Amino acid sequence: MPKVEITTDNLTLDVNDGYALIDMCEDHDTSILFGCRDGACGACMVKVVKGAENLSKMQDDEKDFLETMAAEEDERLACQCKVHGDVVLEVSE
Ligand code: FES
């Protein structure tokens, strides 16, 4: 069972393979914020500290949006990610 650690919240959760990060955050009290829930606002941007390879592959729309936002290489939109293995996340500033 994959583990998701959110260092900002000092929280580690066990989730099912393929679980959406947005669902995890709705079920638990995390500091990851959501707006559009559709990859278009950037509210949910997180830094992937470890395990980027264990998140669902980035689609073109997310990639284009992150480029527009001048995001760092290790940043993802939480609303677009599903978990397939252990990851460590930090809330982007
Ligand atoms: S909630 Fe808007 S981009 Fe994720």
pLDDT tens, position by position, 52-74: 999 999 999 999 999 999 999 99
Q: Tens digit of pLDDT for each residue in 12-57?
A: 999 999 999 999 999 998 999 999 999 999 999 999 999 999 999 9
Ligand 1, atom 3, lies closest to the CA of 39
Q: How confident is the model at residue 92 (pLDDT cuts 50, 70, 90)?
A: confident
As a whole number of angstroms, the distance between CA 59 and CA 62 comes to 6
Q: Which domain covers residue 11, as residue numbers?
A: 3-91
Cα-to-centroid distance, 14 and ligand 1 (Å) = 23
Q: How would DSSP label each residue in 4-30?
A: EEEGGGTEEEE--TTEEHHHHHHHTT-
Which atom of ligand 1 sits closest to the CA of residue 77? 4
Number of domains in the chain: 1
Mean pLDDT of 66-84: 97
- The CATH number given to whatever domain includes residue 25 is 3.10.20.30
Determine if ligand 1 sits within 6 Å of the CB of residue 43. yes
Would the pLDDT of 86 be above 90? yes
